[in-house]
Structure 1
């Protein structure tokens, strides 16, 4: 496995967590709670959404996508600034050893099972979307 694939698995995990938290927010919309608690929950949703973007950006950078392409997709005006924001993380991910990569792969089956339980008709019709990353 490669650091790019691990970053994609990590992005999938963050997306799963975001989905679960968003579903909880919908389910508790009418539940009386303190305004601070609603704001904390909303902030957590934003943090998870940012994590999805960050891990996806890392995966794309690790796969060789240009910073100019990523900056345009992220509606960012300066590719060099974007690169500077991710450079340290990119180096850390690129230097991961095989043990860390193999450990990250173990979660793929759990993410596939989660997808199977939450799959709806409009979602991609795949059975093992995360495990399929390991076969690339």
Structure 2
């Protein structure tokens, strides 16, 4: 199976769009508002907290990810103890779904190993030349 296509926003953040300029300049993607915004009101308190944590952990998420993020936040909220007895009742299927959600958003450890954020060292060296 082919690898999933890297969104241009993610490529911009990770520096891939600079390394592979031709590839990403030709890519036409719909314009979306930056950031995912505030969590849905119908989410539980733990799920809202999870939403904010996930949004902070994955900076390339945008408005088009809100649906998937709500599923991941709900699942993480349950892992945080959203059930009536105070324990996680997520189970194997829930954990598997959570892992799929993270993978679709580009947040699994295997995805993280492919991400290279541009360093600020180059900017500092440019400042010294001025």
Asked if these proteins are the same fold (TM beyond 0.5), I'd say no
Higher relative contact order (CA 8 A, sep 6+): 1
Identify the structure with the greater helix proportion. Answer: 1
What TM-score, normalized by structure 2, do the two folds share?
0.31
Q: Which has the larger radius of gyration?
A: 2
